[in-house]
Structure 1
Amino acid sequence: MTTTLSVNSIPPASAPLREDSIIMALVGLSHASSHFSHLLLPLMFPIFMKEFGWTFTDLGMMSSLFFVVSGAGQACSGFVVDRFGARPILFAALGLFALACLIASVANSYPAMMLVAVLAGLGNCAFHPLDFTILNQRISSARLGYAFSVHGLTGSLGWAVAPLFMGVMSTVFGWRSAYTAASFLYLLILALMVFNRDKLLTSTVKRQVNLPRSHDMAFMRLPVVWWCFCFFLLSTVTLAVVQNFSLPILQALHQVSFEAATLTLTAYMLCSALGVLVGGVVASRFPFRSDRIVASSMCGGAMLLAVCASGWLGALGTMAVLAATGFAVGIGGPSRDLMIKKATPPGATGRMYGLVYSGFDVGFAVSPLVFGAFMDRGWYSATLACAAAVLMLSVGVALGVGRNTGPVQAG
């Protein structure tokens, strides 16, 4: 099968800086809203345990459902984005987030909150395919490294803002009002995207009707696709531990307050954002060493997390090192996205990013189930130690991506 594109999918060699900047900002806000959704449920776990009596395993199931739905949807959404364009999918996703938050604000049972997880997971599933489709098609080639840096930076900022926003709103007005406010926030972002819809237009892939659909899946035969998938899965297992369980781990091991633990998670995300900012410069200067940069970043993060697991540094030291772990891992973010771009066949941007980033969701789905059981048994240090070991495994996989990647593809 051959495909044709309605417009040229190769990024323009140059475009006005203002045009590129607006697109980067819109896509960045899109990515931040996606990452914000990852913490909508985990941040309320301590409150849910007190109010409803749910266990860590119950809460882990809830978080896993979100990412199972997101992962399954993400693997398929890339095809939808390639076929219909990124813009309508973005609008639908933001609407689903708003609906999920509204339902959460009135939920009174475990099934109701599981419905919230399903709706939010459906909303989250398309963001990486649609974001990278917009960036690869609309941003000048010379600025792509910086665009990926902004994309990663804003994602980390979405994670960082979520604890502050939900924490403050729930403390002052109650957790139900926090979800209501989050729903209005998503509607506000949706209105902004609709207002700037001309900046979000992307090409679509048109199939020749006389050719088999099996060719749409041909990219899946490339070994590098599955190396990339495995990298995202492994590295995300560790991130999921930090997001879902760092608060109760810090409270259990070092008797820190809920507020201090929440601020530590925010510091981790802010440091990750700073790392991504630095990583954007590194990725732009050394684009052909992306796999080595990613491997070094993950290795540093794993070692710092192992120090946190040891408990040697006490409460303040552990909180500081945990935040520094975010910086180490964040440096590899832009190089990671360039690493994926190198492996992407022409015309398959949405499909490639959809499948590869579904490993992100699989990691988020598996991790709470496994480590939720650890937490219920009181294995707090072991949870962090195992997360560090898994992150170290991703180092070898990143180098494997580099070995299996051919010449840079335009996608």
Structure 2
Amino acid sequence: MVYSYTIKGGAMAEGKGYGEFRTGWPVVVAAMLGIGLGLSPVPFYTIGMLAPELAREFGWTFGDIMGGLPIMTFAVLVASPAVGFLADRIGVRPVALASVGLFALSFMAFALNPGDIRFFYANWAIMAVLGAGTLPITWTRAVNNRFDDRKGLALGLSLLGTGVFGFLVKPFTALMIAEFGWRGAYLAVGALPLIIALPVAWFAFHDVGDRTQNAAQRRESAALAAANAPGLTFSQTLREWRFWVLAVAFVPISFAIGGPIPNMENILKSGGFAAADIVTLASLIGLSVIAGRLLGGWLIDRFWAPGIAFFMLCAPAAACWIFAHGPLTFETAAISIVLIGFAAGVEYDLMAFLVARYFGLKSYGAIYGTLYGFFALGAGIGPVVFGRAFDATGSYDGPLMQAVLMLIGGAALLLTLGRYRQFTAPA
């Protein structure tokens, strides 16, 4: 039997069902743009388009270029818990706004690379630290504060940006490369958060109480809200076995899903597909991420989330099996890519949803930030393992089969979480 998560009193009791969207939709839109044009998807989805240009100009190997992703991962491991604590203390709005601008500038700095791989790697680390506030840690906190009955759907819509811009940024990057070269592409893509996400967030992204309080009052309210919010403290959560189940499960899951996506163009090329077919097939990732966001959010609102996650994460295991064993046709490749993208679409909102349901909102930022660090660990290592394997063997079969086992094992771990926890906030 599945028990619901109950919060009495406070902002989340104000709206029920879809009525919560009457006041909460600007926050959802701002979160969608902020996440979609932030650290999580933009470097991840553009590296596959830019890697051949960097290799051609500087003579770097594919594995060398993918090495920026684990550097970003380890920087995120350090920065994301700090961002979570900062958001809990001073509020999510100032953290998110500052980080959007800093992320944009640090991404544009890649255009200044003189051909030094050390400069390239340092840029990844700096971008990760400065852009950590654009991760879902901050944006989903405000969404969670405003939604209860439709929390899963609201989170799914907020995280829809990763799919939308994952679909759009690949052809946009290719166009910019063709018109202005890889340096111009870095500048153009980096400008998108400044001209789209930042203005919208400035006007629309407000947590509960932001509009009626000054900075000092917001800091005081944030501390008071943290003290009175329903749920566990961060130290209590670290003693919870469910936290460590999630931490352990998300490493192999993110490895298995994150490994193939930035390597997808090369996976398809090694499978014998023509350039035009590769562009068409690779674009399906973003579209399927969108579908995963929407359907996944709708399902976890209505059914036990770990059970939904198990089925949605076993599907890309079948896709990795197909890629490893071939032979690939256009149809089988398209189906496999959709299955992988569909699972990628449910990952982030699933994590946000599980944190809220099992640990509450008292230390949401710190808990989510720490779990995101484990998630980023797998997502950062995966692409490099895939790239190194191809450099060494000319094939992706080995890591693809590893991904099959990791997806099934990680998804099975989620089934041990049990019933949702119940927390009651003071009136």
TM-score scaled by structure 1? Answer: 0.87
What stretches of structure 2 of length at least 5 have no aligned partner? 1-8, 211-217, 227-232
Q: 1:175 corresponds to which residue?
A: 182
Alignment CA distance shift 1:197-1:373 (3 Å) = closer
Alignment CA distance shift 1:260-1:410 (3 Å) = farther
Aligned residue for 1:156, secondary structure, equals: helix
Alignment CA distance shift 1:102-1:331 (3 Å) = closer
Alignment CA distance shift 1:9-1:349 (3 Å) = farther
What stretches of structure 1 of length at least 5 have no aligned partner? 1-7, 209-214
Distance in 1 (CA, whole Å) between partners of 2:149 and 2:301 is: 9
**Residue 79 of structure 1: how far off its partner (Å):** 0.9
Distance in 2 (CA, whole Å) between partners of 1:348 and 1:322 is: 36
* Partner residue of 2:262 out of 200, 224, 244: 244
* Partner residue of 1:204 out of 222, 228, 244: 222
**Residue 236 of structure 1: how far off its partner (Å):** 0.9
Contact 2:260–2:383 (8 Å) recurs in 1: no
Distance in 1 (CA, whole Å) between partners of 2:324 and 2:93 is: 43
* Identical positions, percent: 21
1:203-242 aligned within 5 A: 203-205=221-223, 216-242=234-260
1:293-332 aligned within 5 A: 293-327=308-342, 330=345
Q: 1:211 corresponds to which residue?
A: none
Q: 1:90 corresponds to which residue?
A: 96
* Partner residue of 1:79 out of 62, 78, 85: 85
Distance in 1 (CA, whole Å) between partners of 2:130 and 2:47 is: 14
1:54-133 aligned within 5 A: 54-109=60-115, 110-126=117-133, 127-133=135-141
Q: 1:385 corresponds to which residue?
A: 401
TM-score scaled by structure 2? Answer: 0.84
Alignment CA distance shift 1:216-1:314 (3 Å) = closer
**Residue 251 of structure 1: how far off its partner (Å):** 0.8
Moved more, 310-319 or 386-395: 310-319
Match status 1:49 vs 2:65: no
Distance in 2 (CA, whole Å) between partners of 1:339 and 1:9 is: 21
Distance in 2 (CA, whole Å) between partners of 1:93 and 1:410 is: 33
Number of aligned pairs?
Answer: 393
Distance in 2 (CA, whole Å) between partners of 1:156 and 1:176 is: 24
Contact 1:302–1:391 (8 Å) recurs in 2: yes
Deviation string for 1:378-399 (max 9, x for gaps)? 2322232222222122111211
Q: Counterpart amino acid of 2:143?
A: L
Contact 1:293–1:335 (8 Å) recurs in 2: no
* Partner residue of 1:361 out of 362, 376, 379: 376
Moved more, 239-248 or 198-207: 198-207
Q: Counterpart amino acid of 2:297?
A: G
Root mean square deviation, CA, Å: 2.6
**Residue 186 of structure 1: how far off its partner (Å):** 1.6
Q: 2:5 corresponds to which residue?
A: none
Deviation string for 1:122-176 (max 9, x for gaps)? 2442322211211111x23222121012023222223222212212211222111
Aligned residue for 2:261, secondary structure, equals: helix
**Residue 216 of structure 1: how far off its partner (Å):** 4.9
**Residue 280 of structure 1: how far off its partner (Å):** 2.0
Aligned residue for 1:174, secondary structure, equals: helix
Alignment CA distance shift 1:397-1:216 (3 Å) = closer
**After TM superposition, which residue ranges in structure 1, 4 or more long, deviate above 6 angstroms?**
none
Contact 1:267–1:323 (8 Å) recurs in 2: yes
1:125-204 aligned within 5 A: 125-126=132-133, 127-137=135-145, 139-188=146-195, 189-198=197-206, 201=210, 203-204=221-222
Contact 1:11–1:141 (8 Å) recurs in 2: yes
Distance in 2 (CA, whole Å) between partners of 1:329 and 1:191 is: 28
Contact 2:92–2:138 (8 Å) recurs in 1: yes
Distance in 2 (CA, whole Å) between partners of 1:311 and 1:48 is: 30
